[in-house]
Amino acid sequence: MARKIGILTSGGDCPGLNAAIRGVARAAYEMMKDVEIIGIQDGYRGLIQGEYRLMKRSEFSGILTLGGTILGTSRQPFRNMRVIEADNVDKVKAMKANYKKMGLDCLVTLGGNGTHKTANLLSEEGLHVIGLPKTIDNDIYGTDVTFGFHTAVDIATDVIDRVHTTAASHGRVMIVEIMGNKAGWLTLYAGIGGGADAILLPEIPYSTEKVIDLVQRREKAGKGFSIIAVAEGIMDREEAKMKKKERMAYRAQTGFASPSYRLAHEIEVTTGIETRVVVPGHVQRGGTPSSYDRILSTQFGVHAARLIQEENYGNTVAMVGSQVTHNKLSDIAGVPKLVPTDHQLILTARDMGICMGD
């Protein structure tokens, strides 16, 4: 009887998803005698609604360099997974029923923190699940790196590189708002790689005065422009003392689209230097994966296939040091990996005179 493996991609898309899908499938075909790959459409929504198909071997060719996901994806918040909403669907019951209907031996889930929390939920419900850590935020606990992160760093760094020339030409302060709501890995790496003068992270509440002081010191030193890399989830010192609802209400009152725009306004009003905000947004998620991410995704996919072959379920793949390994879903689900304030790269930035906002 054929070994049946279901695959879904959930949450935000990123480069490397197709490479990982390919890695799982090609390794499974090689390792196991009789395998069927079931592609589940649009993430957990497809598992809930029963939207899936038997995939052909040919579908896994020519996708190594392809961005996005051939299976489609969607966001299904974990907090609502056990909530029966207006459609009257018991989502957990529906996922378990469709798993059995497909006759799956294992479900492979590719995604970030929310995806892993739901994967752990299904594992606790008795399903055989293997996770693959995908996110440009690099914030999944237990793995040194997630696939998608390296490509996003390249893209964000390129944005900062390009902003340098226009900032220098016009004598402006340029704030580049990089993705990362709770974790600042992407901003930290891109900020250093792109030569930013200041790097602001969610983990380090910033002082507006400190940032303005940097800008003014650079101007006095004859440097006619400044580049500030900020994560979208930054908070100033006062906001960091607030609860989430209080912070959201405060921000609504200020009338700025994001903290980046408020900071830009404060810099321009105080210094008189024209200050602009650049938001690359979803560009950071798109396009062809870097060679590093192609290799990492392939390694992760192959390791997942090996776990399936060994019937070693309830795990998620990880890179620790230079070794591909795995962690228990129950150990990593819901545990974010934030940037430690004493991380070596932060110390490197400080030693170079890069302002961290504090």
**Is 154 in the active site?**
no
d(CA 315, CA 126): 13
d(CA 355, CA 217): 12
Burial (CB < 10 A; 0-12, 13-18, 19+), residue 30, is exposed
d(CA 17, CA 264): 35
Residue 286: other Cβ atoms inside 10 A: 16
Q: Nearest CA to 160 among 148, 180, 172, 174? A: 174
Angle 349-350-353 from CA coordinates, rounded to 5°: 95
Annotated catalytic residue, options 137, 139, 154, 236: 137
Contact criterion met (CB below 8 Å) for 323 and 303 = no
Written as one string, the DSSP assignment of 316-336 is EEEEETTEEEEEEHHHHTT-B
CA-CA-CA-CA dihedral for 240, 351, 166, 149, to nearest 10: -70
Contact criterion met (CB below 8 Å) for 351 and 138 = no
- Type and span of the H or E element at 48: helix 44-49
Indicate which residues carry an active-site annotation. Answer: 137
